[in-house]
């Protein structure tokens, strides 16, 4: 678990530790990075590290959560300008230019961190939309599960494939595919 503090020095120390981890990952496997390595690379003491984090994974989790907080802000601004756009398009647009944390988490099989951050973001957005009456309470939990599951699966596969399809094309293609019935032919 990471520990949130908003004073200027803490924010700066946390960012230095995150940056150090990202740099170390350029030439070292995640499981080989120790807290000592992180502290030395970040130029902070172990006490500072433990004031903010319990483990190296917590640094990744914090960075992922921070990026999803930024995504939430992006989505809120995006939907002010384009209120009727499907959710998948701005999601892919956001990650198109900087998906480093997602690539790291997928590479090290830490997709659970992506799911947790995504669901936390969705819950926050859901609360905001419920206040405005955008979602139907009876179906909203099912809609969110479906949309979240599809979005996370598509995002993960897209990252694994090196973002080989432009966001606009992929979102349109996925939405078209979701409207089509599944046809299974058991005849040979």
Q: What is the CATH number of the domain that holds 31?
A: 1.10.10
Question: Is 178 in the same domain as 108?
Answer: yes
**47 and 68 share one domain:** no
Q: Which residue has the tokens 């859901």?
A: 126
Computed over every residue of the chain, the mean pLDDT equals 89
Angle between helical axes of 35-42 and 8-24 (0-180°, round to 10): 110
| Sequence-distant (≥ 6) Cβ neighbours of residue 122 within 8 angstroms | 144, 148
Residue found by looking up tokens 């903010």 in the block? 52
- Whether residues 41 and 123 share a domain: the answer is no
Helices and strands, counts by H and E, the chain: 9, 0
- Cα dist. 182→122, 171, 177, 188 in Å? 27, 19, 9, 18
Co-location of 71 and 111 in the same domain: yes
Alpha-carbon distance 130 to 172, whole Å? 26
pLDDT of the residue at 147: 78
3-state helix, strand, coil in the chain (%, to 5): 75, 0, 25
End residue of a domain, out of 9, 37, 54: 54
Helix, strand, or coil (residue 119): helix
pLDDT at 3 over 90: no
Domain count, the chain: 2
The most distant pair of C-alpha atoms in the chain lies apart, rounded to whole Å, by 67
User: What gap in Å lies between CA 30 and CA 148, rounded to an integer?
Assistant: 28
- Domain check: are 128 and 37 in the same one? no
Instruction: Show the domain range for 160.
Output: 61-188
Same domain, 36 and 79: no
**Domain co-membership, 36 together with 74:** no
> pLDDT per residue over 107-149, tens digit each?
999 999 999 999 899 888 877 766 555 545 555 677 777 878 8
Which has the minimum average pLDDT: 31-40, 91-100, 172-181?
A: 172-181
Instruction: Give the model confidence (pLDDT) of 41-59 as tens digits.
Output: 999 999 999 999 999 999 9
SS3 86: coil
Residues 23 and 67 in one domain: no
Residue 67 makes CB contacts below 8 A (sequence gap 6+) with 101, 117
Domain match, 47 and 108 both = no
Q: Which of 54, 76, 99 is the last residue of a domain?
A: 54
Claim to verify: residue 3 and residue 81 sit in the same structural domain? no
Question: Tokens 């960075």 identify what position?
Answer: 63
Regarding whether 118 and 81 lie in a shared domain, the answer is yes
Let me know whether 48 and 96 are in one domain. Answer: no
Query: Which pLDDT belongs to residue 129?
Result: 66
Q: What is the pLDDT at residue 110?
A: 95
Residue that finishes a domain, picked among 14, 38, 54: 54
CA gap 127, 8 in Å, rounded? 29
């Amino acid at each position: 678990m990471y520990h949130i503090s908003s004073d200027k020095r803490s924010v700066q120390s946390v960012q230095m530790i995150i940056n150090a981890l990202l740099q170390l990952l350029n030439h070292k496997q995640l499981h080989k990075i120790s807290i000592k390595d992180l502290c030395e690379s970040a130029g902070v003491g172990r006490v500072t590290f433990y004031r903010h984090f319990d483990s190296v994974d917590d640094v990744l989790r914090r960075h992922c959560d921070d990026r999803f907080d930024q995504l939430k802000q992006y989505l809120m601004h995006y939907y002010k300008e384009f209120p009727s756009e499907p959710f998948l398009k701005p999601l892919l647009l956001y990650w198109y230019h900087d998906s480093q944390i997602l690539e790291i988490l997928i590479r090290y099989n830490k997709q659970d961190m992506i799911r947790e951050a995504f669901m936390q973001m969705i819950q926050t957005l859901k609360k905001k939309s419920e206040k405005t009456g955008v979602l139907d309470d009876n179906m909203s939990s099912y809609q969110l599960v479906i949309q979240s599951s599809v979005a996370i699966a598509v995002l993960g596969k897209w990252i694994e494939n090196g973002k080989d399809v432009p966001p606009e094309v992929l979102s349109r293609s996925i939405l078209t595919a979701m409207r089509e019935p599944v046809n299974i032919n058991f005849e040979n």
